[in-house]
Structure 1
Amino acid sequence: MDHERQRARYVAGTEGAPPVPPPGGYRGARRPQGPVQAPPFAPPVATPAASDEPKKPANAIGWIALLGSILFALILLGTLLAGGTDIVYSVTMLALQLIVVAVIVASLFTPRGRMFGAIALVIAILFNVATVGGLSALNSSATGNYDGVKTEEQKHAEAYPGIKGTDSQSVLNQQSLEEVRAEADSLFTAIRDRLTARFGYTWVKVDDEDLRPERNGYGGESMLYEYTSVGWATVEPIEGYDRKLAVMDIVDQVVQEHGLYGLYAFNDPTNSGIDPTMITKLYGSDDPRTQHTWESYTENYPDPLRFYANIYDLSNDSSGNFLAEREAQNARTGEPLEGLQLFVLGSAVLSEDDREEFEQKLTEYPGY
């Protein structure tokens, strides 16, 4: 029983914990003297640093992918500079592109070639048949440089001195550039003198002479020119139907005296054959009495001279739109807003200074 009571004293209400020591502690118990020493412990095991691990070099396929991508990019850029758009899109280039892509993909699946493969992939994305080919096409279109896509025969035709479909012998037989210029000056002088004597008009020169090389029809420029003469205009306006008829009658007389055909009036619906709706749109009305513009033309075919005489009359501009057009033209060229204007065009004319060279070059193009 004593043992049972003693046992119950240890466990009752303490969930199995021993009782606290009695006041003053247990008899004979002593506290340790001096500093408390920590128990010994094992030193940490040194592990090799990551930087001390030997690096493995990239394998061959990684290098091949990188160098192949760089080399292919250089080839594409060289072709771009040469203007060879067709070469960029050729079957050979497409095949090379597929080979480079295949090597790059293979390198990405190898641990040691993955880094170089990723770099090669970036290069291939920036420089490939699609991107460089597009730049090459835009460059050729903007500069007109298609040398890289032309055959030797095409390059030879491009230097043809005449015009495709135009008989070169006819060019040699017709008036030269210098003769057309002299004929234009003679016409202008005669018309100015005649109208000044009759109506007292004064004149001002408008625009400068212009020479533009004619295209030869084979992608190049011929040795022939399109000639635009200086223009002449009356300072005074010309108004009234009867006055306009009188002015044009004198002009018609002069041009026929110089070997040209009689004037052909585009603005006259009875003679031009142009639809009245179009005449109204161009000249303000289908009735010459109320038109703001009269436009007449003649030529000396088979020679190349074409002569134009226009009368602008703002008194027939009811909407004000034609005035705005004339003011814009005046701002560009300084020509009078209204009155009579004269000018000459000469198509496919050859300068006398170029005649010998023209004939020499024609010998290189039999059958053209």
Structure 2
Amino acid sequence: MTTVTRAAARERIGRGEPAAGPHPYLGGADGAPPLPPPGGYRAAQRVQTVVPPTEPAEPRQRTGALGWSALVAASAFGLVLLIMWTAGATQAIYGLVTLTLQLAVVVTVVAALVSARNRRFGAIAVTIVLLVNIGTIGAASALVSHPGTGTTDPTDDYWAAYPGIKGQTADEILARTSLESTQETAADVMAEIRQRLTAQFGFEWVEGRGSDIRAERNGYGGESMLVQYTSERWSTTEPVTDHQLKLEAMRVIDEVLADYGFYALVPLNDPSTGFDPAYLERFYGSTDPRTQVEWEWYSDDWPGPMRFYANVTDLTHDDDGGFRTAREGQVAGTDEPLEGLRISFLVPEVLSEHDVDEFTRRMADYPGG
């Protein structure tokens, strides 16, 4: 092996010759680089790739009995609705049994959705319920009219035209005070009340809301021939704020009502009636009549249909203005003042004297008429 000095090697390189002479290293042991020392070079380090251990996947929770129950209930209920719809039993879809089953299914499905273990099946059940309800109940609602609203069922049409009121016989209705008689009594009673209160306390009066008559429902989805009469409402022109004066005014009103055969006035705003304190505070402003914004006293001529109301609004106790705002809405468009004593009648389910013959003729077409 020829030894080549560094200087000679540089000269060879400068002339474009190989640094190790004309015999370069071709393999084997000749000219091979020296072997690394035992243990390797000190600066050499092996690079190892460290792969962090993967955590084992959590076992998948199995759906519990609640989830299966929700899915089965939704599927069964959906099948029942589809069968009913296919069979044309659209009226039964709105029946009490169907609505009860639907409520039970909804409760089960909601319970499944709340549970993490059963949520997946609960979501499927919700989808089934929504799709089937829209496809059956929604379609039935669009196609089927109900009694009194243009139903195509002859039986429903028949009862929607019932001239009386469900649960009341024709004899009971005909024996009742007529509409005209109640109107006359109401006018006489209120005129007498106004006259006596004016004589004793100097009250002046104004007619606020006018009277009104509207048809009563017959209990079968239609309108009865009976009506509800709401009298005009009379109000004092000045506020009544003194507690003793309010009591004295109610005493005079009670005397007039007794003369016409009515029962004694009952103060609905008084705690002695047994109403819940929260109810008294909400509707009258306080549990103490001395600090209440509203007073409401009631009487009737039971078993007659006439109901009498005496109200007092005293806004001096309206601390937050809520009752004033409500009263402003109530009296809008009328001459009725915000405050004062008011009297009126409400008479439900009475028949006009002019309708007796037609009522009797039409009732003859119904069982028990």
The normalised TM-score by structure 1 is 0.61
Q: For residues 91-147 of structure 1, what are the alpha-carbon distances to aligned partners after superposition, in whole Å with 9 as ceiling and x for unaligned?
A: 479xxxxxxxxxxxxxxxxxxxxxxxxxxxxxxxxxxxx789957734767996342
Query: Residue 364 and residue 237 in structure 1: after superposition, are their counterparts in 2 closer, same or farther (change >3 A)?
Result: same
Distance 1:332 1:142, change over 3 A: farther
Give the aligned partner of residue 151 of structure 2: 147
Q: Secondary structure at 2:323's aligned position in 1?
A: helix
1:333 match: secondary structure = coil
Consecutive unaligned residues in structure 1, runs of 5 or more: 1-85, 94-129
After superposition, give the CA deviation of every residue in 1:158-184 in whole Å (9 maximum; x if it has no partner): 211110012321211111000000000
Checking the alignment, whether the CA contact within 8 Å between 1:201 and 1:235 is kept in structure 2 is yes
Distance 2:285 2:143 in 1: 44
Aligned position for 1:166: 168
Q: Deviation per CA, 1:183-209: give whole Å up to 9, x if none.
A: 000011001101111111111111221
Please report the RMSD computed on the Cα atoms of aligned residues, expressed in angstroms.
2.8
Instruction: Report % sequence identity.
Output: 43
Q: How does 1:318-329 map to 2 (within 5 A)?
A: 318-329=319-330
Q: TM-score, normalised by structure 2?
A: 0.61
Are 1:266 and 1:296, in contact at CA under 8 Å, matched by a contact in 2? Answer: yes
Take 1:273 and 1:131, find their aligned partners in 2: how far apart are those partners? 50
By how many angstroms is 1:365 displaced? 1.2
Contact 2:313/2:340, CA 8 A, preserved across alignment? yes
Q: Quick one: distance in 2 between partners of 1:164 and 1:142?
A: 17
The residue identity in structure 2 corresponding to 1:165 is: G
Residue in structure 2 matched with residue 306 of structure 1 by the alignment? 307
For the structure 1 residues 344 and 320, does the alpha-carbon distance in structure 2 shift closer, same or farther, using more than 3 Å as the test? Answer: same
Written as runs of structure 1 = structure 2, the 5 A alignment for 1:100-179 is 134=138, 137-138=141-142, 145-148=149-152, 150=153, 152-179=154-181
**Deviation at residue 257 of structure 1 after TM alignment:** 0.8
Relative to structure 1, the CA distance from residue 133 to residue 249 in structure 2 (aligned partners, 3 Å threshold; closer, same or farther) is closer
CA contact (8 A) 2:147 2:156 kept: no
Equivalent in the alignment of 2:294: 293
Q: Which residue of 2 aligns with 1:242?
A: 244
Return 5+ residue gaps in structure 2 as ranges. Answer: 1-81, 90-133
Contact 1:294 1:312 in 2 (8 A): yes
Counterparts of 2:328 and 2:298, CA distance in 1: 24
Residue type of the alignment partner of 1:221: E
Report matched runs for 1:237-276 at 5 Å.
Answer: 237-270=239-272, 272-276=273-277
The aligned amino acid for 1:313 is: D
* Corresponding residue number in structure 1 for 2:98: none
Counterpart contact for 1:162–1:216, Cα < 8 Å: yes
Amino acid corresponding to residue 364 of structure 1 in structure 2: D
Q: Find the counterpart in structure 1 of residue 234 from structure 2.
A: 232
Counterpart in 2 of 1:39?
Answer: none
Rate the CA distance shift 1:181–1:140 in 2: closer, same or farther, 3 A.
farther
Q: What is the SS of the residue equivalent to 2:332? A: helix
Q: Contact between 2:213 and 2:230, CA under 8 Å: does it hold in 1?
A: yes
Select the structure of larger CA radius of gyration: 1
Structure 1: how far apart are the matches of 2:157 and 2:320?
Answer: 53
Match of 1:352 in 2: 353
